[in-house]
Every structure is written in C-alpha cells, then in structure tokens.
Amino acid sequence: MELKIDRVTKQYGSKIAVDRISLTLGRGVHGLLGENGAGKTTFMRMICGILAPTGGSISFDGMEAATEGYRSVLGYLPQDFGYYPDFTGKDFLLYMAALKGLPKRRAGEKAKELIEMTALKEAAGNKIKTYSGGMRQRLGIAQALLNDPDILVLDEPTAGLDPKERVRFREVIQEYGKKHIVLLSTHIVSDIEHVAGNILMMKRGQLIYRGPWGEEKGDLEQFYLKQFEGGEE
Amino acid sequence: MNHFGILVKYEWKKLLQKKLVRIAILVVILLQVFMNLSFLMQYYTSYRSDEDGNVIQTGGRSGYEKLMDDKEDAKALEGRKVDDAMLEEMRQFYAEYSPRDKYAEIHSMVRAMSGEESREFTGEELYGVWKDNIKTSFKSQLLSEKEIAYWEKKMENIETPFTYHYAMAWETILNNQCVGTGMLLVMLLAVCLSGIFAEESRLKTSNLILCAKNGKNPVYLAKAVVGMLFGFLGAFVLYVISFAFQFYFLGTEGFHAILQQDIVYSPYPITIGQAVLIMFGITVFIGVLESMFAMVLSLGLNNNLAAMSVVVGLMMLTSFIYIPKRFRILSWLWHFIPTGILGTGEFYDGRLFQFLGISITNLGFAPILYFVLSLVLFWVGRRKYVKVQKS
C-alpha cells in the first residue's frame, strides 16, 4: 500500500501554491502541518483528484489519481464540508454510499455503524440543516469512512468538534491508520502530535519537514512556531 | 435498486426539495390553470343598430354563458357539409338580426377560406377560391416547384366539401394553449434545472462527488436523466391540465374533424386531434432539449442565475425576431427555435427538408432536430463534466 507523489506542482498564474513535492506515504497517520495559505488544501485536493496538478503525478499502487479505481479507494473530508441541507443525516450517508459504489445492503449496514460511531443515532433522521457545527463535522467524518478507504484524506477534521469529540476522533483515526493511509491536515499541532507517526510540514507550497517526531527532537509546537516566525504569507 | 437507480432517486430528491423549484412548479401550474379559465373573466355585450342608425345594446353575457351558447350552436352544426345548401342557409340567417351567432363556426371558416368578409359564393366557387389562396400562400413562402407538387398531392386527400364536426376543445388547445404552454415549460425548466450542476459548487458538495467512484459518469447520467424526465413530465402535466379543463367545459368530441375547419390554409391532410397530438409531441421534445440546454449552461457557467437568464432571455429575444422567408435557409433554421414552432402558423408552412430523396415536413423534422440537438448537448456536457478537473 503506497501513495506515491512525484514532483507535484500547482501554479496559479505566477503564484506557486504547491512546489514540486515528492514523497511516498505508506500505512499510518501522516500529519500535515502548515499555516493558512501554506498550500495544504491545494495539495490535498490534488491527492483527491479534484484539482489537476500543473506538473508531476500522483498514484496509489499503480493507479493514477482521479481514475475510477483510485477514487474507489479514497475517502475525503474537505475543509469546507458540503452537504444537502434538506437531506437527513441517514439519507446523506446512503447517497454518499451509492456515490462510492457500495452495494445496497452493505451501505445500510455501514451507514448504521458509522452513525453509531459518530454519535449521530438520535439525529440521523433529522435534516442536516438542523445539525450543530460539530454534528455536521461528525457526519463529514462518517461519509469519509463509508467505503473503508485505503487512503483517507482529512482536511481540518477537528474544526467544530468539542474537546471530548476531538479525543474520540483521535482514537478512531489512530486505530484506522494501523491498516490504512491517513493524511490529516491541520494548523493545530496538538491535533496530530499524539496520533501522527509521520509529520509533514508545509511552508509556501514546499515541504520543509518530513519524518517522525520523537521526544528527543523537543517540542513540536515550538519547532512549528519557529518555522513560521515572521507571520503569515 | 442498483447504484444508478439510487443516484437517480437522490437527484430527484435534491431537485424537489428546493423551495425555488416547488414555488416555480406551483406558479407554472397556476398560470396554466389561469390560461385555461381566462374565459371566465370575460364579459360580452352585443349591440345592434335600429332603423334610425342608433346603436342599441341588446344584451350581455358572461364568458361562461357565451362559451356554453357557442358550444350549443356549434354542436347543432355537427356533421353538416359546408356546401351550397349550408351557405344559403347561413346567408338567410345573417340577413336578419339574431342575438346568437348560430353559424359562427362556419361563418368564420368561410370568411377565412375566401379571405373576404361577405360575398355570395356557391360551394364550388368557395373551394376554388380556397385552393387559389393556398397556392398564393405557397408562392409567398417561396416554395419550390417540387414542394408545391408535394403539397398539391397531399391536398388531394382533403375531402371537399368539408364536413363540419364539433371540435371546440381541440380547436381551443391548438389555437390558444400550445404556444403559451411551450413558454411556460421553458420558464419552468430554466428556473428548476439551471441549478442542477451549479448548486453542487455552491453547496461545496462537488468536492465529495468528484472524488467518489461513481462521481463522474454515473452522476452526470443520473442528473441528465432526471433533468430530461423533468422536462418530459413538465410538458405532460401542462398538457394534461389543458386537456382536463377544455374537455370538462367543451367535451372531448371532434378528434377526427379535419384540420382545415380550424386552420383553413393548411395543406396538411390531418385531423385537428392529430394536430394537437403533434404539438404535444413537439412540446415533449422541446422539454427534453431545453432541459439539456439549461443543464449544460448550469455546468458551463457554474451559476444558476446566469444559466436561467440565458435560457429565458433567449426565449424572449427569439420571439421578437422574425427573419423574412426570402432568406430561405436562415429563416427556415430560425423558425425551429423552440416555442416559435408551436404557433398555428406552422401548419401553413410548406417548406420541406430533403434528405436522401425523402421529403420531410417541418413538423416531422422538428422532433428529429430536437432529439439530435439534445444528444449533442448531452455529449458536450458529459465531456465537460467527466474530463475536466478543476484547474
């Protein structure tokens, strides 16, 4: 199981949002850190095949990004999680399951399991527009996990979650990362320092750090803040 | 239900859950009902001149009363031949004042056939003038010799003298409802379908769809199927409303009445009922075409308001522009602009489309053209949706 990213670049006019990033990701949780505007979301959207890279390539076990095979092993929670306000939570998950190609029976079972896992059982029959921000975020996490994806891409997944939900979420992700590739993007260091076995740090579209972070290296947050001294881009 | 069936089910749900769509459906249905009941809001006053030339009001009738009187009078003429005997009977009737115009249906037909208000025709003269007028109409349309020969052969199947059949419901639909229904349908589709792709971007759900296994071809196909079905059902429901009201008030009789009793200069050897069904069929094809057009614009412009404006704006603009028949190909192509073709004038139009030695009338060509254009739009939309990632 290998997600291969080879000299991936994204350029908007003269602005380079992602600059020749190359890396290979295997099983485990990979924490992507970077300030707002560092290029994290652009990078993740390219991994999900939503955005076409200006240069370079992305593949998973030989399957090019954006192909049907690649998309069938992908789970994605975008930063701005979109939903249909008049769908119920359950309907939304069943629709997403059909989009992901799950057989009907499996879709029903999986939706039920994830509704319970994300503590949405009571609200599953209510319209999403009545959900709180945290509930919507949990629904977003549930839809990303529907197809048991080999590659799980989570962009700012803890936004809107309360402290208890954040802890619960970290546990789920840690467990999930044992068998799959999880790429988790955030600008909150505490979200990933306990769960990510591999840290990726982005600044101005470039990868400025990659590798595990052990206690011998000191405090990750201090290191992170030091990298971004001088303010935002 | 397979994945595609589930996707179609949820696309319907997305469409019908929108408040704007529900309001648009309700408004269009109310307008269609209003169009069919507008006669109830009319009032008719009749006048006559006395011996001194003074104008005297002789009576007044509500729209409903007049309609029922007209229906009764027209039914009394059922099965009568429009021949010498009928013309003489009519002349005698109009020599005296009567508050009821009992021969209105035949009088207006004879007036239209001869192109003159009053003249003492024999039956033979009347049908001679009628044929001459049709030939003049062919010349004014700049028809070729081949086209004229085609229609003259077709007209041999129109039996003269005409036999009048009561067909008021079918006539009302053909004369008053087809164009309006077509315009209401286009407006409905513009409002309801222009957001079908653009909404996914606005709600930010396109991110989830585009990276899912079935997010490309199957989703595009599900949306297209739902949009085209919506267009088809829209046409169907609007016509059902017209049929229901007209048949309720005027009865269902007259499907087999010849078209010329309503559209006298038409060379088509068909019945009024067939003409209505042809218009219904063309409206269905227009519904499918306009659905695809609104959806492709929604995809291309990525903005529902812009897409809606283009569809409605084009419909309004094209209804104001007339291209003279002397620009033969251009005016011929232009008259296929949807909704324009639904006017009764289409039954006069003798221009033919020649394909592999076969002559196809405009009314036969329109569904083929709309079907092909729908397929082209489907292909263009699919190509854009499936191939292009966001850049």
- pLDDT exceeds cutoff 50 at A232: no
The DSSP secondary-structure symbol of B352 reads: E
Q: Which region among A120-129, A188-197, B114-123, B319-328 has the lowest average model confidence (pLDDT)?
A: B114-123
Give the whole-angstrom CA distance, residue B127 versus residue B123: 6
Domain boundaries, chain A: 1-73+149-233, 82-148
User: Given a cut of 90, is residue A71 above it in pLDDT?
Assistant: yes
CA-CA-CA-CA torsion sign (B22, B371, B342, B264): negative
Give ipTM to 2 decimals. 0.90
Q: CB under 8 Å to A227, separation ≥6 — which residues?
A: A201, A203, A208, A209
Distance from the B3 Cα atom to the nearest Cα atom in chain A, whole angstroms: 5
> Under CATH, which number does the domain A82-148 receive?
1.10.40
Cβ contact, residue pair A99, B205, below 8 Å: no
Task: Write the residue in A51, A84, A96 that is nearest to B390 by C-beta.
Answer: A51
Give A68 to chain B, closest Cα distance, Å: 5
DSSP state of B266: -
Average pLDDT across chain A, whole number:
91
Chain B residue set in contact with A, beta carbons under 8 Å: 1, 3, 6-7, 10, 13-14, 17-18, 200, 203-216, 219, 389-391
| Amino acid type, B107 | H
Mutation site for A-interface testing, chosen from B11, B12, B207, B220 by largest number of A Cβ within 10 Å: B207
Q: Are the beta carbons of B211 and A82 separated by less than 8 Å?
A: no
pLDDT for B37: 93
**Cα distance between residue A101 and residue A148, in whole Å:** 12
Is-contact B381 B224, C-beta < 8 A?
yes
pLDDT tens digits, A38-48: 999 999 999 99
pLDDT of amino acid B389: 55
Place of tokens 């006069």: B348
* Cα–Cα distance measured from residue B128 to residue A74, given in angstroms and rounded to the nearest whole number: 78
Which of the given ranges, A33-37, A162-166, B75-79, has the highest pLDDT on average? B75-79
Q: What dotted CATH number matches A1-73+149-233?
A: 3.40.50.300
Q: Which amino acid, residue B275?
A: A
What DSSP string runs through B368-386? HHHHHHHHHHHHHHHHHHH
Look-up of token digits 């308001």 = B305
Whether A233 has a pLDDT exceeding 90, the answer reads no
pLDDT at A164: 87
Strand partners, B57: B47
Is residue A67 within 8 angstroms of chain B, CB to CB?
A: no
Confidence of residue A144 (pLDDT cuts 50, 70, 90): very high
Chain A residue closest in CA terms to B10: A95
Query: For every residue of B176-221, which 3-state class applies, written as one string?
Result: HHHHHHHHHHHHHHHHHHCCCCHHHHHCCCHHHHHCCCCCCHHHHH
Comparing CA positions, the residue from A140, A150, A131 lying closest to residue A96 is A140
A76 contacts on B by Cβ (under 8 Å): 207-208, 211
- Do residue B6 and residue A72 have CB atoms under 8 angstroms apart? no
By DSSP bridging, strand A151-155 and strand A74-77 are parallel
Q: Which of A51, A96, A101 sits opposite B389 (nearest CB)?
A: A51
| Residue A87 in contact with partner chain B when CB distance is under 8 A | yes
Distance between CA A230 and CA A36 in Å, rounded? 14
For A51, half-sphere exposure in the C-beta direction (CA atoms, 13 angstrom radius) is: 21
Q: Does B212 sit within 8 Å of A100, measured CB to CB?
A: yes
- Which residues are CB-contacts of A63 (< 8 A; sequence separation ≥ 6)? A69, A70, A73
| Residue B391 confidence (pLDDT) | 47
C-alpha to C-alpha distance for B367 and B327, rounded to whole angstroms: 23
CA distance B176 to B279: 12
Q: Where are the alpha helices (DSSP H) in B194-337?
A: 198-202, 206-210, 217-250, 272-301, 304-320, 328-334
Instruction: Please state which of the ranges A60-64, A151-155, B92-96, B154-158 shows the lowest mean pLDDT.
Output: B92-96
Residues sharing a CB contact under 8 Å with residue B74, sequence separation 6 or more, in sequence order = B104, B105, B166, B168
Tell me the two tokens of residue B372.
């092909």
Contact by Cβ (8 Å): B51, B256: no
Closest to B161 in 3D by CA, of B94, B79, B95: B79
- Tokens 């035949």, residue located: B106
pLDDT at res. B1:
60
pLDDT at B312: 92
Q: What is the mean pLDDT of each run of 10 residues along chain B (391 residues)?
A: 89 96 97 93 80 77 90 93 90 80 89 77 90 92 92 92 95 93 95 94 92 93 96 96 96 96 94 96 96 95 93 88 86 85 86 88 94 97 79 47
Query: How confident is the model at residue B390, as a pLDDT?
Result: 55
